[in-house]
Amino acid sequence: MEGSLVLIAASLVRKRALMAGAWTSGSLGWISDGEDKPHATIGYEADLSNQDNAWLRLHYQRNGEPVDYRVRLVTSTPHYGRLRWWFICPLVRNDGGPPRRVAKLYLPSGGKYFGSRECYGLTYLSCQESGKNRGLYRHLAFEIGTNEKTISRLLRELAQQCDAFSSRAARGEPDCRRSLA
């Protein structure tokens, strides 16, 4: 799921993009660490004036092609009151089941539409890590006096730093370290 754009219903409520009883519109952007400008932007329009027929329209460009569609919204009432908004995944399920009610929608690289993690078959990086690495992590942890989780976290952070460095190098940006010669 790392690398996907993510829409989170609760975040859209906090940002007032989703407001019960109202129509809203605007744009949303995703900014990478260390960047000033969004690397992705989408436009939205939301109509929550009728709770039984609420929707979020998304419009953006994917590989130069315009994409424009609506995502149904539904609510539930948690025990603490108020409303909780959910997306109905706009993608067809592989198992032919009914559409899923989800809190998050993902747009992975190569995808055209936002959809649920299940529809795209996305998993968390921690779920993808093979058990074959556990022995190595355990050995490293023992050698340096820490635990397997710390080793795993440090290796993930190192991989992210390498990816960020590679991205900067691919854009022709200089390395942040400079020699003082």
Q: What is the pLDDT of residues 46-85, one digit of tens each?
A: 999 999 999 999 999 988 899 999 999 999 998 887 889 9
Give the residue carrying structure tokens 């609420």: 54
Residue 175 resides in a domain: no
Note whether 81 and 27 are same-domain residues.
yes
Q: Report the amino acid identity of residue 78.
A: P
Residues 66 and 136 in one domain: no
- DSSP three-state, residue 92: coil
Is 179 a domain residue?
no
Instruction: Please state whether beta strands 65-76 and 54-62 pair in parallel, antiparallel, or not at all (unpaired).
Output: antiparallel
User: Is 13's pLDDT higher than 80?
Assistant: yes
Would the pTM of this model clear 0.75, i.e. be above it?
Answer: no
Residues 93-151 pLDDT 10s: 777 888 889 999 999 888 899 998 888 877 655 555 556 677 777 888 888 888 888 88
User: What domain count does the chain have?
Assistant: 2
Task: State whether 11 and 90 are in the same domain.
Answer: yes
Q: Has residue 177 been placed in a domain?
A: no
Could you list the residue range(s) of the whole structural domain that residue 75 is in? 5-122
Same domain? For 112 and 37 the reply is yes
Q: Quick one: CA dihedral 139, 141, 144, 145, positive or negative?
A: negative
